[in-house]
Amino acid sequence: METPLAVLVGVLFASGLYLVMQRNLLRFVFGLLLLSASVNLLIFTAGRVTRGTAPIIPEGLPTPPGDVANALPQALVLTAIVIGFGLIVFAIVLVLRTHERLGTIDTAEMAERLEAPRPVATDLEDEVPA
């Protein structure tokens, strides 16, 4: 079971990397999503994929009966998902704000617009943080 998952991790990571290297920021965010998914899957696979029940100890027993799944990678992945969620939402908000202020989400165009002389009106507006 680990082998197909390992291949999947590789495919996801490669696709993510491809998107991350694009100039369009929205694609960058999508790439980040793929990267984060592949890394989470990697941690999950690293904890070994075994058949087992949820690692919850039933009432009245000191240990769970039978085989249980490894709970630690799941806890790690859950934490990583939560953090990734926060980071990606922040990235999306940042892209949105950039689009509002600079009128583009293409990184090359962004640099151009920043260097281009600005009309007086926006120059004033720029001093007031939005």
Partner 1 sequence: MNSIILRTASQLLLTILLLFSLFLMLRGHDLPGGGFIGGLVGAAAVALYAIAFGYRAAQAMLRISPRMLVGVGLLAAVAAGFLALLQGQAFLTGQWWIIGLGEGAELKLSSPLLFDIGVYLVVVGTVLTMVFALEER
Partner 2 sequence: MSWLVAAPVVLPLLTAALLFVLQSRSEVQRVLSTTSTAVLVTLSVILLYRVSEGGILVAQFGEWRAPFGISFVADHLSAIMVVVTGVMAVATAVYALRDIDGTREELGYHPLFHVLLAGINGAFLTGDLFNLYVWFEVLLISSFVLLTLGNRREQLEGGIKYVAVNLVSSMIFLGAIGLVYGLTGTLNFADLAVRLPEAPGGLVTVIAMLFLVAFGVKAALFPLFFWLPASYHTPPLAIAALFAGMLTKVGVYALIRVFTLLFVHDVAYTHTILLWISGFTMLIGVLGAAAQSDVRKLLSFHIISQIGYMIMGLALYTPLALLGSIFYIVHNIVAKANLFLIAGIGRRLTGSFDLARMGGLYRGAPFLSVLFLISAFSLAGFPPLSGFWAKLVVVLAGARVEAWPIVAVALLVGLLTLYSMTKVWQAAFWTPLPAGERMQERPSALLYAPAVGLALLTLAMGLWSGPFLALTEAAANELMDPSIYVRAVLGEAAAAAMRGDTP
Name the site residues for partner 1 (rule: CB under 8 A). 54, 56, 82, 86, 89-90, 92-93, 96
| CA-wise closest residue to 45 among 15, 8, 85, 17 | 8
- CA–CA separation, 34 vs 89, rounded Å? 14
Instruction: Name which of 9 and 29 has its Cβ closer to partner 1.
Output: 29
Using CB under 8 A, count the residues that bind partner 2: 40
Q: Measured from the CB of residue 89, what is the shortest distance to partner 1 in angstroms?
A: 5
From partner 1, partner 2, none, interface partner of 49 (C-beta below 5 to 8 A by class): none
- CA–CA separation, 112 vs 81, rounded Å? 35
What is the DSSP code (8-state) at residue 57?
A: P
Amino acid in position 123 = D
CA dist 104 to 24, 95, 100, Å? 9, 9, 8
Interacting residues toward partner 2 by CB under 8 A:
13, 16, 20, 25, 28, 32, 35-36, 38-39, 42-43, 45-48, 72-73, 76, 79-80, 83, 86-87, 90-91, 94-95, 97-98, 101-102, 107, 110-111, 114, 126, 128-130
